[in-house]
Structure 1
Amino acid sequence: QQRVALARALVTRPDILFADEPTGNLDARSGQQVLDILFELCGAEQGTLVMVTHNDAAAARADRVLCLSQGRLQRVDTTTPEAPRVGG
């Protein structure tokens, strides 16, 4: 089901892809495959991936991580020197 949802989301080649817990109900191997697809396609298409996750390994792959607690922004971690911004 995750892969079908992923295919549907990517078929139109969106500039911004929103993924809410894309690995949430998957085993480790399938979760890794889904993340590989998301990051490869967003990178190849120069798209932006906005992902909500509790998975630290998934978050570690991002250019920028916004950490929330109690509905408030706690910190922003940038993992690349020039993390791209949405809209330029």
Structure 2
Amino acid sequence: MEDHGFWLMKYHIELEKFLPDYLLENTTLIAVDPKDGRILLNAGWSLGYYDPKTLEIETIYTENIPDHGIKFCPIICHESLVWPFSPS
């Protein structure tokens, strides 16, 4: 932890073994679970928890939309995961 007046966590996540679902160019961090430290990752069409203890990703949602050229954009709102502008 680095002390700059706020909390800072630094992780190095190797995504190569999770290709093609989690591309480096597309994957962003959504949230860190305060209970177990798992990191929620959004890859544009896959959503999953990365476990820093096991170094594995548990995919919790996949959308078959890469062929359509669009991405889904989940957000955290009041501790709930939502997908605004859902096509359904």
Q: TM-score, normalised by structure 2?
A: 0.26
Higher helix content, 1 or 2: 1
Between Structure 1 and Structure 2, whose CA radius of gyration is higher? 2
Higher normalized contact order (CA 8 Å, seq sep 6+, divided by chain length): 1
Q: TM-score, normalised by structure 1?
A: 0.26
